[in-house]
Amino acid sequence: MTAIHRYADPPSLAAGAARRLLQRLIQLQADGRVAQLCLTGGRIANRVYAELGTLIEGSDLDPGRLELWWGDERFLPTDDPLRNAGPTLVVMAGRFPLDPARTHPMPAADGLADNGASAATYAKELDDVVFDICLLGMGEDGHVASIFPGHPSFDATTQSVIAVNDAPKEPPQRISLSMPAINRSTEVWFLVSGEEKARSLALAVAGDPQTPAGVARGVEETVWFVDEDAAAGLDYYRCSF
């Protein structure tokens, strides 16, 4: 099943996605279990996390029963502001309590291990976890996580976590979930904002096999949260409000 939710601008996208995320996480926790949530980085995602933080107090969501993972990471030192985990954790931890034992940022470039060994470490930590929801952004070129079109990161693999080298965007060294790991998620939710992404978004929604975002899909549901600028190439009947 595919759903497309269209919003007027980035603030309304963030607010709408946050409301739906809260509702879905509460549903997932209803039977007492821990919800497995894979996070993405970026400005629009962090706006969603900030909005989510304003909604949690007084709701039925238990932050202690959230298991948090990351879809990709720039292989940089822990305190580098360009890493995904740092800014996201600042936004989240400032608004609701996180269980450190259930928070799994990807390894940083602080030690002797290279990004290949670090990817293997994260794959071992991830094991056979299936994400209830995997959040993804999308680049202008249609990349998701750190899987880029026409790049070895998009090659077929049996690994769940891969090292990415010579990435076409800075920094060149990264760690990423593989496409098979993303596609075993029960639900994949895209957060896409900006007119510069309109062409790639249209290709991705159509399932273009040369575009990583066109291949990333949830087992049960794929949900697109887009603003008007990003959705310029989509037919209105494909969108809900």
Kindly report, residue by residue over 89-105, the tens digit of the pLDDT. 998 888 888 999 999 99
User: What's the confidence (pLDDT) of residue 49?
Assistant: 96
At 237, the amino acid letter reads Y
Q: Is 60 helix (H, G, I), strand (E, B) or coil?
A: coil
Q: Name the pairing type of β-strands 161-164 and 174-177.
A: antiparallel
- pLDDT reported for residue 93: 86
What is the reported pLDDT for 146? Answer: 98
Tens place of pLDDT for every residue, the chain, 241 residues?
899 999 999 999 999 999 999 999 999 999 899 999 999 999 999 999 999 999 998 999 999 999 999 999 999 999 999 999 999 999 888 888 899 999 999 999 997 789 999 999 999 999 999 999 999 999 999 999 999 999 999 999 999 999 999 999 999 999 999 999 999 999 999 999 999 999 999 999 999 999 999 999 999 999 999 999 999 988 765 444 3
How do strand 174-177 and strand 72-74 relate by DSSP bridges? antiparallel
Which stretches of 132-220 are assigned E, i.e. beta strand?
133-136, 161-164, 174-177, 187-192
CATH number for the domain spanning 182: value is 3.40.50.1360
Reported as a single tens digit per residue, the pLDDT across 211-221 is: 999 999 999 99
Q: Which residue in 83, 86, 110 sits closest to 171, CA to CA?
A: 83
Q: Assess if residue 7 is contained within a domain.
A: yes
Task: Let me know if residue 238 belongs to a domain.
Answer: no
**241 located within any domain:** no
In this structure, are residues 20 and 5 in contact, taking their beta carbons and an 8 Å threshold?
A: yes
- Close Cβ partners of 77 (under 8 Å, ≥ 6 residues apart): 83, 108, 109, 110
**Is residue 210, in this structure, part of any structural domain at all?**
yes
**Is residue 82 in a domain?**
yes
How many domains, in total, are found in the chain? 1
Sign (positive or negative) of CA dihedral 36, 88, 180, 123: negative
Q: Which domain holds residue 86?
A: 2-225
